[in-house]
Structures are given as structure tokens and as C-alpha cells.
Copies of this chain bind each other. A is one copy, B any other.
Amino acid sequence: MTDDTTSTRHACSYETDANGVVRWSEAHADAWIGLLETHKQLTRALDAELTAQHGLSLSGLELLARLAAADDRHMHLTALAGAASLSLSRVSRIIATLEERGLVERRNCPADARAVHAQLTDGGLRLVVDAQTTHFASVQAVFFDQLDGDEIATLARVFGRFAPQAADQCDAGG
């Protein structure tokens, strides 16, 4: 933490003005509010592009991508929800729309009659490959190309700490 802020410092990284309104130190404001704002702008742009080019939301691509990376290209809906940090109800509905487009199929799980496999179809796999090709290039252009190697390493270390398994077995771009 830098010590060259002009304002009085608490033990904490924020302070209050004369009205009691709380204010971050400059570095903390840039880091936290900048994180929120950067996420908002990048995901908005990337989602719009993905929708326009492939008719997929970021969540839809993430589910398809996780299926593509899975053994035999199928997963239980609960496992998908856990991997993607989405509610089961949301996954159920996203899979329904993907199923209408023929990108996945619901199949009964032979080992558990309650469970459903979401099975990626050949057409779904083709779409994943197409969509990720353009999507990854966009993430590279809008995000990684603005960073140097040290910065990428720091972000990887920091966000890997917060979300340890997020990238595991995942080709998801979003």
C-alpha cells in the first residue's frame, strides 16, 4: 500500500468527510470501484458481441464450454451449476433454450433416475469452437492486450486466490 495519499489515514483504507460520508483512499477506490466498472464494461461489450455473432449469452457459452471440456461431453445440471456458479434453476432454463436450438440434449442418467445429463451435440460442439474462437480473440484484444506480463501474473495470483477452482476443467471464456 502506498503511503502518499494526501488525506488522513485510518488504520483502515477509508475515511469519512465532514458529513460522515465514507470515502475510499485513492488506491482502494481505483482498485475496487475500478474492478466493478471494468467488469461491467467488458462483460457488457463481450456479451453483446457474442449475442450478435452467435446468439449466445456469456452464461450460455460457459455452459457449452464446460460440457465441451467434460468427459463424453455431458454433465449433470447440478454439476454445471456448481462449476459455473449459477443457480440450478438458471442452468435448467439455459439448457432448455440451448436444447431448443439443438446444441445440447437432455438425457436420463442411467445411474440415477432423478438426474439429467446435459449432452453436447455435434452441432453444439461446432458452435462452441466457433464462438470461442471469436470470443477469446475479443478477450485478448479488450483485456489482455492492455496488460503487461507482470500485471497478468498478479491478476492470476490474486483472482486464483479468490476463486481457486474457477478455471479448472473449463474452456469457458465467460
Contacts and interface: CB of A to CB of B under 8 A. Distances in A.
A172 interface: yes
A37 B146 contact: no
Interface string A138-174: 0110011011111111111111111100110011111
Interface string A107-132: 00000000000000000010011001
Contact of A27 (B20, B28, B156): B156
A31 interface: yes
B1 A152 contact: yes
A37 B136 contact: no
Interface residues of A, number: 70
A52 interface: no
Contacts of A16: 129
B23 A155 contact: no
A48 to B, nearest CB: 13
A152 B30 CA distance: 9
Nearest to A125: B19
A89 interface: no
Q: Which are the 9 A-B pairs with shortest beta-carbon distances?
A: A34-B159, A1-B149, A37-B163, A37-B166, A30-B156, A29-B167, A22-B132, A31-B155, A38-B162
